Amino acid sequence: MSLDQPLDPSLRDSLAKAVKEGFAAQISLTQELVRRPSQRGEEHTVQDFIFAELRRRGYQMERFAMDPEALANHPGAGKWSSQHSEAPIVVGIHRPRNETGRSLILQGHVDVVPTGPAHMWSDPPYSATIRDGKMYGRGAGDMKSGLVCGIAALDALRALGWQPAATLYLQSVVEEESTGDGALMAHIRGYKADAALVPEPTGEAMVRANLGVIWFRVEFEGIPRHVSEMGEGANAIDAAIRTIAALRQLETAWNDRRGEHPLFAEMPKPINLNVGRIEGGEWASSVPATAAVDFRISLLPNWDVKACAAEIEAHLKAFVSGDPYLSNNPPRLVWNGFMSDGYEQREGTEAEAVLARAHQAVTGKPLPAVVLPAYIDTRIYALFDKIPALCYGAKSGLSHGIDEYVEVASLERVTLSIALFIAEWCGLEPIEA
């Protein structure tokens, strides 16, 4: 079945049957992944598990380490530190007998954010409990289930005796939640294709654009004293609080400029400054000597990330110069993660048209397009490979929150859509006996 031939109308029905017959195994595999904790730096065992699963399916396998030096020399890399993950990138490679179709990168990330207090969850955060049509657990939505959708889509084609008639790279990456450097490492390694599909949980819609992200940390030093001599000291935590308020002014100013990108102009607050982590102090009866705050802020797709970083630095310097204490004891600004531009996926690509046909065939509805005020790895392929970069996945909720979940029925629909997309985009050939 080559690209010159339209897909057999019966393929949708036979694939739907194959996806349904394999769905119990797909859900079991998803639960296996969710039950393996994989916060930043802890993804080694889940990557080993995925390596084994893909190798068992007959893919040619490669597993390679992060290369901080190569990343540091790339303009799209996040700022690396010892806190970032050194877990390997895993790639399963399918090569056809006859390369008649269009190649594809199918990518998911296995790193997850911290769970927060376990007692706040209805079930343990890594339990992968299924209740009322939803699977709960950290990473269930964002995005272990999406990675499995890609694996299961290929399994369904295989169950019918078909395989892609083009090279397909099935990539399992890390560092999506901190830097985006996992996907970038695969790019630097040399994996290239005619299109990329990332099945993040998008609510069964395609992402038209997403924001860029910058992470930074501000570190303060105070003058410690006994609390009875507070007036003779300087409180590092108080300085941090003043600085947070000052940076909120930058957040407001950036949101006032949201009309600079038409896709975000009507969004009430696309730019968010998050105070993600704060630390400081040594003793309740001592004026704190140190404090530090970790921030995350977003930027519009048509803004330059380096210019935005310079604006953050200038805003901080302007505030510090007017603060009686900090002007003589300036805080330290550290770039410690994301330094990523946003992107917009232009309309009219053939890859989007193929995905739209697949989605329509499964749901009976046109493919919606949404803008996402967050980071996704599709920016690597859109900005640096300049190929169609499609982000499309299941319905989920409470990502990064308590009781994160993914809708189970949605996983089946998305798996079928991905399988139909692969069939038309890559073309199909019979599996060699």
Q: Which residues are paired to 291 by β-bridges?
A: 220, 280
Mean pLDDT by runs of 10 across the 433 residues of the chain is 59 96 98 97 97 98 95 94 92 96 98 96 97 98 98 98 98 96 97 98 97 97 74 85 98 97 95 97 91 98 97 98 95 96 95 97 97 94 97 97 98 98 97 75
Residue 364 falls in which region: left (phi positive, over 0), alpha (psi -120 to 50) or beta: left
- pLDDT at position 80 is 85
Exposure string (b/e) for 263-298, b if CB count within 10 Å is 16 or more? bbeeeeebbebeeeeeebbeeeebbbbbbbbbbbbb
CB atoms within 10 A of CB 345: 22
144, 6 contact by CB (below 8 A): no
At 32 the pLDDT is 97
**Res 3: pLDDT:** 46
Q: What does each C-alpha distance from 287 to 235, 240, 260, 320 come to in angstroms? A: 6, 13, 44, 20
Q: What's the pLDDT at 223?
A: 85
CA distance 396 to 424: 27
Q: What is the largest CA-CA distance in the chain?
A: 83
Residues pairing with 368 in the sheet: none
Predicted local distance difference test score (pLDDT) of residue 230 = 62
Q: What is the pTM of this model?
A: 0.94
HEC profile of the chain:
CCCCCCCCHHHHHHHHHHHHHCHHHHHHHHHHHHCCCCECCCCHHHHHHHHHHHHHCCCEEEEECCCHHHHHCCCCCCCCCCCCCCCCEEEEEECCCCCCCCCEEEEEECCECCCCCHHHCCCCCCCCCEECCEEECCCHHHHHHHHHHHHHHHHHHHHCCEEECCCEEEEEECCCCCCCHHHHHHHHHCCCCCCEEECCCCCCCEEEEECEEEEEEEEEECECCEHHHHHHCECHHHHHHHHHHHHHHHHHHHHCCHHHCCCCCCCCCCCCEEEEEEEECCCCCECCCEEEEEEEEEECCCCCHHHHHHHHHHHHHHHHHCCCCCCCCCCEEEEEEEEECCEECCCCCHHHHHHHHHHHHHHCCCCCEEEECCCCCHHHHHHHHCCCEEEECCCEECCCCCCCEEEHHHHHHHHHHHHHHHHHHHCEEECCC
Q: How confident is the model at residue 232, as a pLDDT? A: 62
Residue 363 is predicted with a pLDDT of 96
CA dihedral of residues 297, 373, 210, 241 (deg, nearest 10): 0
Tokens of 425: 């985009």
pLDDT number for residue 8: 75
pLDDT of residue 432: 80
